[in-house]
Structure 1
Amino acid sequence: LADGGGAPSGVGDSAAGAEISAAGTSTSAGDADLLVDLADTALADLWVLDDDLPAPVAGWTANWRYVWPRDAAFCSVALARIGAADRAADVLAHLQDLQQADGWFEARYVPGTDRAPDRRAPQFDGTGLLLWASAEAVAASGAGGGAVADRLAPLVTTSLAALHHATSGGIALPPASPDYWEVREGAATLWGAGATLAGLRAGAELTGSTGAEESAQVFAHLLQGTFGRGGWQRYRDGGGADSALALFDATGLHDMIDPARLGALRSELSRPAGGIAPGAAWKQDGISWTPSTSLLGLGLARAGEHLPAREILSWLAAHRTEQGSLPEKVLHDGRPAQVAPLAWTAANTLLALDALAS
């Protein structure tokens, strides 16, 4: 990536661009060209929301111009995977500086400060997701991974301790906390559970701790007996299907969800324009949400389900704005709607393309 306002490097320098045409024999030349163009514009979206900032903001519209830890986690992984490992480490180091002593994060931050813009409750999912992102950044850094791990050691140590404490060593569900739905919660959500497991496994990988590995194993078994037994709904005993199901495969937890269950999510949460809603309990307004839709594409791509992943990516490509940016919403009639560009959707898209090209 260029510095200080320059144009982004071409995605031909990354797996997401240079080899996307080889992502599967069933991809036509036209589809391959479309996905290469999607990679290019998704990178541009991420670029403009990250350039000359300590960490990417969610969007540039006033109410989105903040740093969300969960969005930043996905953005940092995308940056690492496209070859900008140093920039990914910078983003994670900035979030490390913002982390509270107990391991929690505010829901969002005013860029360049440690201030929350409002009185939203702190959120727990960033703890696990940034630990997962740290492991991804270390792995993507190759020979420089040791230096990245050393730099992010405080984030890793604090986050792993927080996850261990919150789950009593893996035997308890994480605390009730708002998640990407941004509403108050009275019970642990599927998203929070997935983020916690991703963090526990990443922490075990980064530290080599047998205790952390045992906690992750115990916690995975707990999720199978609670959320899994209940059909992997938003809550352990109900709430309907939730796009958070895709988080497991998106973060490499491929042993948790049956591929057929993940594939069914698209029909369960479908909206008229062809994308999905965040969940079955979401308001029935006909709107497709691209963060959820792109997350599903990412989960499918990383699970090896390339054909449905390509279908979702092609849908995203076909519903960009006139300027080529990925919007947050797509209306019932297929028109893109506010806001655009959106960093989380761009990051999910780049990561899904990268998985197809791997």
Structure 2
Amino acid sequence: MNEKKPYLVDAVIGNSRMLATLGRTGKMYRLWWPNIDTPQHVDAMRVGIQEDHTINWFDEATNGWSHNVYYADRSNILHVDAVSPQAGLTVSSRHFAVPGKDLLVREYAIQNTGTESKSFSFVVHSSFVISENGLYNTTMFNAEADALIHFRHQYYFTVSSAIVCTKFQSGISWEDVQKGELNGSVIDMQPTGAMSWQLSLAPGETIILPIYVAAAGNEHDAVSVLQDARKQTSELWAEQTNRYWNDYVSAAVPCPVEDAEIKALYERSILMFKLMSDEKTGTIIAAPEFDETFSRCGGYSYCWGRDAAFITTALDKVGLKDLTDAFYDWTLTAQSPDGSWQQRHYHDGQLAPSWGLQIDEGASIIWGMWEHYLVNEDRAFASRIWPAVLKGAQFLASFIDPATGLPKPSIDLWEEREASHTYSSAAVYGGLKAASGFAELAGEYELAEQWSELADGIKAGIEAYCFNEELQSFYRGINLKVSAEKFNQDTQAGHEGFVEDLDKGYKKYVLKHDPIIDISLLGISVPFNAVPAESERMRSTADAVERLLTVPEVGGIKRYEDDIYIGGNPWILTTLWLAHYRFATGDVEAGRKHMQWALDHRTETGLLPEQVDKNTGETAWVVPLTWSHAMFILSVFMLAEAK
């Protein structure tokens, strides 16, 4: 089928070993297993009602169907209610992954709302392009299991129901399934298949038809998972799953703010954190992937150390310390031999597609480890990670420019430019101070003093080299690499710069200062505290951020002045970052205002995106973004503390 999938999704379901994304009509777009970052297997799964030879696909916002989508309260079960007055039917569905099992349940309750009896077929068309590889896929029908099995290599997926099917076909295209005839083909080297169930409903009658998607590494085990699913009703699976998620939320720290709207997003964030954490490895993904071909971005279903440091700090706040422990255990597998942590990684610790070293990544990991230790004071944890901290801090120390005391140039947190970035310097400050704390615990007092002094040197360097007296704000960075054209243009206009000779006759063009106002400048004080939040320099920088980065009409804060990524929209996490700063300086009213903006721009299902369209205020990019949810959680606790 190879259907073009949307960039934006409306919901995610999963259990930390399976993860799926869906639209508001219940259409499934993607399914990851046995890890939540890769591989992804679903091309498309479609469901519809067939009367005569016409199939009415009710997971489309067409053919007279209207849809309502929402999560169950305190649960990751997604509800989709589809209504069609013309068809005289309502289809109420529930979609969820069963905790602890490689099983996805899609339960459909079909009601005849007309005045006459109805007879029709319920049709499922499934296309599994396993591992997103169009080669060597096979679909077969297992008569004993009454199931379609899609497989390739070590990935097997069974699709069936608790009710015996009426017809089936392995290897039927999307175009052919529209004709409504399934020919009983048992096996085909194609990724597609279809099943149908003949149903009859009296007026007012409802029938429940569950569709199970079971995963395993071979046919026997995949069928076993399916047979296990049939041992109880889908209603019982839903009750069990709801109970699991309700218990999960109840075991977390209660929302510290008495506000129904904040509490709802607080609990939704707790639920989302679990889905974004891989059960097998401990990795935390930035977001479920939505741009596999890198058509508009570089992908999101990877683990960034920086994002995760903010996220784990939020996890500790809400009491999900086990997820934090698992993540930092995983970081030990992802560290490079030289002690660095590179830009981003796959769940197995291997380097993901990258643009080069971001010095703040490793620094943030060490900082996050220390924040985690401060919450738990677990000496076993400190001992376990000490070898990695030692190597990591040694790498950070080797990356300091002795002329300025600042870290050497690397790629910025937005992955767009090379410079000695002020935010990155603050992150390294935080990382070295954290490493100093761990060194003291390990009895390495000389190292502790050495790293603390290096950190103090970074702090002094930020004050000495990174403040723009003219604009009364911190520079985004110094020693910014630019094109030859940009260099000539700016130096002719009076800006300072220099040219470096590189290997093989290449040249590097460098401007001495990067004056662009960037939200990440707030990170100098919140969270890394290289410069106190109350200092005049930080206050004037924060005021410049709010003045220059607030988006007219729609509101919210964009990343930096000349941002063009996806149109240059306001972000949720950037707006909450400003809230953090305002809370840190005691301006509760301003911080609460920015929090409200984030609350007002949740999606229909209560998730936080990355961006909001600067013209319409609608969700613009990436749903959900784990870092957005983390920044909200941190805002909640800062609000509670400020009050």
Q: SS of 2:405's equivalent?
A: coil
- Cα distance in structure 2, aligned partners of 1:342 and 1:85: 20
Structure 1 length normalisation: TM-score? 0.87
Structure 2 length normalisation: TM-score? 0.50
Structure 1 counterpart of 2:467, which letter?
A: G
Say whether the 8 Å CA contact 1:80–1:88 is kept in structure 2.
yes
Q: Are residue 295 (structure 1) and residue 577 (structure 2) matched?
A: yes
The CA deviation string for residues 139-193 of structure 1, in whole angstroms up to 9 with x for no partner, is: 1114xx21221122123212211221111579532122222211241x2112211
Q: CA 1:150–1:70 in 2, change beyond 3 Å: closer, same or farther?
A: same
- By percentage of residues, which structure has more strand? 2
- Counterpart of 2:393 in structure 1 is 160
Shift of 1:42: 2.2
Say whether the 8 Å CA contact 1:141–1:148 is kept in structure 2.
no
Residue correspondence of structure 1 range 73-88 to structure 2 within 5 A: 73-88=309-324
* Percentage identity across paired residues of the two chains: 23
Shift of 1:267: 2.3
- Counterpart of 1:247 in structure 2 is 523
- Counterpart of 1:61 in structure 2 is 289
Shift of 1:315: 0.7
Q: SS of 2:410's equivalent?
A: coil
Shift of 1:11: 6.8
Say whether the 8 Å CA contact 1:166–1:172 is kept in structure 2.
no
Q: Are residue 210 (structure 1) and residue 452 (structure 2) matched?
A: no
Q: Are residue 233 (structure 1) and residue 475 (structure 2) matched?
A: yes
Shift of 1:252: 4.3
1:135 aligned to which of 356, 370, 375: 370
Q: CA RMSD in A?
A: 2.4
Larger CA deviation: 78-87 vs 344-353: 78-87
Larger CA deviation: 327-336 vs 115-124: 115-124
- Counterpart of 2:276 in structure 1 is 49
Q: CA 1:262–1:140 in 2, change beyond 3 Å: closer, same or farther?
A: farther
Say whether the 8 Å CA contact 2:459–2:531 is kept in structure 1.
no
Can you give the 5+ residue segments of structure 2 that lack an aligned partner in the other structure?
1-14, 18-98, 100-243, 291-298, 441-447, 479-512
Larger CA deviation: 321-330 vs 240-249: 240-249
Q: SS of 1:64's equivalent?
A: coil
Say whether the 8 Å CA contact 2:16–2:277 is kept in structure 1.
no
- Counterpart of 2:549 in structure 1 is 269
- Counterpart of 2:345 in structure 1 is 109
Say whether the 8 Å CA contact 2:269–2:630 is kept in structure 1.
yes
Structure 2 counterpart of 1:75, which letter?
A: I
Q: CA 1:116–1:13 in 2, change beyond 3 Å: closer, same or farther?
A: closer
Say whether the 8 Å CA contact 1:131–1:199 is kept in structure 2.
yes
Q: CA 1:297–1:170 in 2, change beyond 3 Å: closer, same or farther?
A: farther
Q: SS of 1:47's equivalent?
A: helix
2:630 aligned to which of 347, 352, 357: 347
The CA deviation string for residues 211-262 of structure 1, in whole angstroms up to 9 with x for no partner, is: 2222211210111011125531212323311111121232240744435235
2:539 aligned to which of 246, 260, 268: 260
Say whether the 8 Å CA contact 2:467–2:474 is kept in structure 1.
yes
- Counterpart of 2:327 in structure 1 is 91
Say whether the 8 Å CA contact 1:201–1:213 is kept in structure 2.
yes
- By percentage of residues, which structure has more helix? 1
Structure 1 counterpart of 2:559, which letter?
A: P
Structure 2 counterpart of 1:196, which letter?
A: V
For the pair shown, which has the larger CA radius of gyration, 1 or 2? 2
Q: CA 1:303–1:180 in 2, change beyond 3 Å: closer, same or farther?
A: same
- Counterpart of 1:19 in structure 2 is 256
Shift of 1:106: 2.6
Q: CA 1:256–1:59 in 2, change beyond 3 Å: closer, same or farther?
A: same
Structure 1 counterpart of 2:245, which letter?
A: A
Can you give the 5+ residue segments of structure 1 that lack an aligned partner in the other structure?
22-31
- Cα distance in structure 1, aligned partners of 2:420 and 2:330: 27
- Counterpart of 2:559 in structure 1 is 278
Q: SS of 2:287's equivalent?
A: coil
Q: CA 1:3–1:290 in 2, change beyond 3 Å: closer, same or farther?
A: closer
Q: SS of 1:337's equivalent?
A: strand
The CA deviation string for residues 253-285 of structure 1, in whole angstroms up to 9 with x for no partner, is: 074443523541222211132111111132394
- Cα distance in structure 2, aligned partners of 1:351 and 1:275: 18
